[in-house]
């Protein structure tokens, strides 16, 4: 399921909105309500005759063949059906990303301003500025939710960073929403934003890739579209200048552990990468600062739950208590205890940041956290995301 399906946001065009989060296609389709059930028939198993008959049963319209052709052609042209059109789109986009010397911004102009001066004013207006002393600081966890919903947490996270950290390399661990399970997405590309070009520490990228090649996915296309790292780069540039140095790592879900049991590192490839990160921290820790771009629970209709979720009300009060139990394990640096709370029911809270959090705790075992801010936000009237700001310092 590599497509996003959302209720249409347009009152005059009800239906199901379809879009491609990978960016292989830039088309957005709205399928009218009567035709939505037909989408399930494009599964590679149904014949065109069966689809035509289903349309006729639904509409009693003798033009069912025309309706079928129109729907099929619209989906195919958009790249929403597996086949030659989609494969050509996918291959072209992946090739373009691989050949580009830089990683272009994917969310400028939508999630944040796409002009440098306006972006500077936008950040300044929200009071995002450094205020920490940097002493014994290991890193921070910030959200990756849309800034419009998460400014309070972004402010609390980034004010921990002091100006004296400007010469550090920021290891940015981001949730890989579209990446392969048990994989860590790497790239050698510098990250461009309206502020300028953040420099990726290629030597550190190569060190990780050579030490743990089986779990590393080099020039992972997910970097081209993922926002969990891009937002952090923008805010780091706002604090420390356009040429801030970064080590961007996208962390895929630990699905094998969630669904089959055991610890994530029982997968040999995952263990190699976690060990490589730990060795990197041991060798370079004094010049590293970790930034986690992570959200927490995802509850409500958008995420498949049979509830109309409302922030800090009803069922979300219990979610807040469960979130805080996990956060306590993060504060204690207790990786095993944290995973013991995530694993049951295949993580029914749907913490998209669980894998980056666990990765950080294993790589930096002496990190101890303090929750600075926690909040829940209605991403739509029926769905809620939780997130917050955590600072991590070295244990005494």
Q: What is the pTM of this model?
A: 0.91
Cβ atoms of 273 and 364 within 8 Å: the answer is no
Same domain, 245 and 144: yes
Same domain, 217 and 320: yes
Same domain, 50 and 121: no
Same domain, 90 and 207: no
Distance in angstroms (rounded) separating the CA atoms of residues 186 and 271 = 17
Q: What is the dihedral of CA 351, 352, 356, 362, to 10 degrees?
A: 30
Spatial CA neighbour of 272 closest among 206, 208, 217, 335: 208
What pLDDT does residue 58 have?
Answer: 74
Same domain, 127 and 44: no
What pLDDT does residue 44 have?
Answer: 84
Same domain, 246 and 211: yes
SS3 at position 175: strand
Same domain, 78 and 128: no
Same domain, 51 and 177: no
Q: Where is the domain boundary, 95, 126, 156?
A: 95
What pLDDT does residue 1 have?
Answer: 60
Same domain, 275 and 309: yes
- The alpha carbon dihedral of 119, 232, 219, 81 has a sign of negative
* Residue showing tokens 């609390």: 156
Distance in angstroms (rounded) separating the CA atoms of residues 365 and 332 = 10
* Residue showing tokens 């993922």: 226
SS3 at position 383: strand
- SS3 letters across 308-353: CCCCCCCHHHHHHHHHHHHHHHHHHCCHHHHHHHHCHHHCCCCCCC
Same domain, 14 and 82: yes
Same domain, 332 and 217: yes
CA distances, 192 to each of 13, 142, 168, 204, 242 (Å): 36, 20, 19, 19, 9
Q: How many domains does the chain have?
A: 2
For residue 267, give the CATH number of its domain: 3.40.830.10
What pLDDT does residue 387 have?
Answer: 98
What pLDDT does residue 65 have?
Answer: 75
Number of helices (H), then strands (E), belonging to the chain: the values are 13, 15
What pLDDT does residue 300 have?
Answer: 96
pLDDT tens sequence for the chain (396 residues): 689 888 898 888 999 999 999 999 999 999 999 888 888 888 888 888 888 788 777 776 667 778 788 888 999 999 999 999 999 999 999 999 999 999 999 999 999 999 999 999 999 999 988 887 767 999 999 999 999 999 999 999 999 999 999 999 999 999 999 999 999 999 999 999 999 999 999 999 999 999 999 999 999 999 999 999 999 999 999 999 999 999 999 999 999 999 999 999 999 999 999 999 999 999 999 999 999 999 999 999 989 999 999 999 999 999 999 999 999 999 999 999 999 999 999 999 999 999 999 999 999 999 999 999 999 999 999 999 999 999 999 997
Strand partners, 23: none
- Domain of 156 in residue numbering reads as 103-394
Tabulate helix, strand, coil % of the chain (nearest 5): 45, 20, 35
Q: Where is the domain boundary, 79, 95, 111?
A: 95
Q: Where is the domain boundary, 45, 62, 95?
A: 95
Same domain, 43 and 132: no
Structural tokens at position 324: 């805080």
């Amino acid at each position: 399921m590599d497509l996003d399906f959302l209720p249409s946001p347009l009152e005059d065009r009800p239906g199901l909105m379809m879009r491609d989060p990978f960016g292989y296609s830039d088309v957005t389709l709205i399928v009218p309500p009567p035709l939505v059930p037909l989408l399930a028939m494009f599964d590679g198993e149904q014949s065109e005759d069966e689809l035509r008959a289903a349309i006729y049963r639904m509409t009693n319209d003798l033009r069912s063949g025309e309706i079928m052709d129109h729907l099929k052609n619209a989906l195919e042209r958009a790249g929403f059906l597996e086949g030659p059109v989609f494969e050509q789109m996918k291959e072209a986009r992946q090739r373009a990303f691989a050949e580009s010397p830089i990683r272009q911004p994917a969310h400028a102009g939508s999630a944040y301003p796409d002009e440098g001066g306006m972006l500077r004013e936008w950040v300044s207006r929200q009071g995002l500025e450094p205020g920490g002393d940097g002493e014994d600081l290991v890193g921070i966890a910030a959200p990756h939710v849309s800034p419009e919903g998460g400014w309070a947490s972004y402010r609390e996270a980034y004010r921990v960073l002091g100006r004296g950290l400007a010469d550090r390399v920021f290891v940015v661990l981001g949730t890989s929403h579209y990446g392969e399970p048990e994989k860590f997405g790497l790239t050698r590309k510098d990250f461009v934003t309206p502020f300028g070009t953040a420099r990726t520490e290629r030597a550190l990228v190569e060190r990780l890739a050579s030490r743990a090649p089986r779990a590393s996915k080099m020039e992972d296309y997910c970097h081209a579209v993922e926002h969990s790292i891009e937002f952090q780069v923008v805010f780091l540039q706002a604090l420390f200048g356009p040429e801030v140095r970064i080590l961007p790592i996208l962390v895929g879900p630990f699905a094998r552990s969630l669904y089959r049991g055991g610890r994530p590192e029982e997968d040999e490839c995952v263990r190699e990468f976690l060990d490589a990160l730990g060795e990197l921290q041991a060798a370079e820790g004094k010049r590293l600062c970790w930034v986690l771009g992570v959200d927490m629970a995802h509850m409500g209709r958008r995420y498949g739950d049979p509830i109309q979720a409302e922030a800090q009300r009803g069922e979300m009060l219990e979610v807040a208590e469960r979130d805080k139990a996990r956060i306590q394990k993060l504060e204690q640096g207790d990786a095993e205890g944290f995973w013991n709370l995530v694993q049951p029911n295949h993580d029914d809270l749907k913490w998209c940041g669980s894998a980056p959090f666990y990765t950080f705790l294993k790589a930096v075992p002496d990190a101890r956290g303090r929750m600075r801010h926690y909040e829940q936000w209605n991403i739509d009237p029926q769905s809620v995301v939780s997130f917050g700001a955590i600072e991590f310092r070295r244990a005494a």
